Amino acid sequence: MARAERIRLIRELEQQRSSRIICYLTGDRRGFETKIAPDILTYFYEHLLEIGKVDAIDLFLYSTGGLTMAGWRIVSLIREFCKKFSVLVPFKAQSCASLISLGADEIVMTKMGELSPIDPSVTTPFNPAVSPAPTPGPSGKIVPVNVEDVVGYFKLAKEQAGFTKPEELDKVFANLASNIHPLALGSVYKARLQIRMLAEKLLKMHLSGEQKIKKIIKAFTEELYSHDYLISRDEAKNKIGLSSVTEPNTELETKIWNLYRKYENDLEINSIFNADVFLGETNERTLIANRAYIESLPKSHVFQTRKILRRVTQAGPVAAPGVPQRVVGMIQERTLSEGWIEESARGQEGENNA
């Protein structure tokens, strides 16, 4: 049983770490991606209430990111229940997950562990759209605006184009404001201030030294240039100066990695979903996809999507008089349920995995 095996590995980690562990993984399987979001806070609280106040809590974390305020709240909530807060990073802890890690007394990174810049993207009804729509909002496909991309635009104008005079910079700003709504630019400015504020608050929970903290914040928000840049444990510790990063010994690294591989398998992270292959020889089948986990020894919550997939045929367009009408095959999907459920001790119930 999947949960029973994961629980065994969690218990082994707790014994070696002399801590209590909460696992939080948001899957990034193509088509089934999930992100860190505020909807998980009540579930975290339930797990923490079951664990109670203890000396040390480890957050076993895998995520490509999400909403920054949710990340901030996770750290502050966990710290209400422990004296020492650590993050275990088996593989990806990117963007908002990196922000969470900045708030930890210790960041235990395997050789595969990776952090990333924390500069956020802003999405508002005033953002530009891929295809122009009559009015801003749901009718257009909104394009997120990355905070540091806006800053990079001004650096390009100053450092590469040599625009330094006030009247030149006025034109640079006017050109930007003509393509991105001024209210969206205002949100970008506030997001830039906010991410620095949050990073500073999180780092000050366990670090001292203003210059050291400023150096770390600058590295994670602007110096690495691309939000896709991946930070190894060596770079995080020895180049950026994040002294909370530690390397596990061989035994601990093996246990962390073995647990990650169980979740990787359950979330089918490396599996590409093909509806036609999934249906096989049948015309209808129920899909059950586990997409994220919050799990500890006392209980398990899984974000799960259930769908019915059905093969149907319909008549195609008439090509010409006397030409037989084509029959077109297609696959219809209907979502039955989607959301967080508590997984039983017996493991997942259902017809078919994706």
More confident residue, 314 or 202: 202
What pLDDT is stored for residue 200 in this prediction?
96
Identify which of 235, 6, 212, 210 has the alpha carbon closest to the alpha carbon of residue 98: 235
More confident residue, 176 or 8: 8
Which helix (H) or strand (E) segment holds residue 73: the answer is helix 68-79
| d(C-alpha 2, C-alpha 273), whole Å | 21
Average pLDDT, the chain: 88
- Name, in order, each residue with C-beta under 8 angstroms of 36's C-beta and a sequence gap of 6 or more: 26, 63, 65, 66, 67, 70, 71, 74, 96, 97, 100
Which fold does the domain 2-120+199-273 belong to in CATH?
A: 2-enoyl-CoA Hydratase; Chain A, domain 1 (3.90.226)
Q: Given CA atoms 158, 161, 164, 167 in this order, what sign does their dihedral have?
A: negative
Least confidently predicted of 25-34, 146-155, 299-308: 146-155
| d(C-alpha 44, C-alpha 65), whole Å | 17
Q: Mind listing the pLDDT tens digit for each residue in 205-264?
A: 999 999 999 999 999 988 887 778 999 999 999 999 999 999 999 999 999 999 999 999
Q: Directed axis angle between helix 182-204 and helix 166-179, to 10°?
A: 100
* Residue 86 bridge partners (DSSP): 58, 106
Identify the DSSP state of 93.
Answer: B
Note the maximum CA span of the chain. 83
Report the percent of the chain where pLDDT is more than 70: 87
Q: Taking the CA of residue 92 as centre, how many other CA atoms within 13 Å lie in the half-sphere pointing to its CB?
A: 19
What pLDDT is stored for residue 326 in this prediction?
58
* Residue 353 bridge partners (DSSP): 288
Q: Mind listing the pLDDT tens digit for each residue in 61-75?
A: 999 999 999 999 999
Domain residues of the chain, as ranges? 2-120+199-273, 279-342
Confidence band of 171 (pLDDT split at 50, 70, 90): confident
Sheet holding 106-109, edge to edge: 245-246, 106-109, 82-89, 54-62, 20-26, 284-295, 300-315, 327-342
Q: Mind listing the pLDDT tens digit for each residue in 306-349?
A: 999 999 876 656 666 666 655 556 889 999 999 999 987 544 44
* Residue 245 bridge partners (DSSP): 107
What pLDDT is stored for residue 324 in this prediction?
62
- Name, in order, each residue with C-beta under 8 angstroms of 34's C-beta and a sequence gap of 6 or more: 26, 27, 28, 291, 292, 303
Query: What is the average pLDDT across 155-178?
Result: 78
Q: What angle do CA 51, 57, 59 make, to 5 degrees?
A: 105
Identify which of 60, 146, 65 has the alpha carbon closest to the alpha carbon of residue 98: 65
Least confidently predicted of 44-53, 158-167, 204-213, 256-265: 158-167
Which helix (H) or strand (E) segment holds residue 286: the answer is strand 284-295
| d(C-alpha 101, C-alpha 115), whole Å | 9
* Residue 300 bridge partners (DSSP): 295
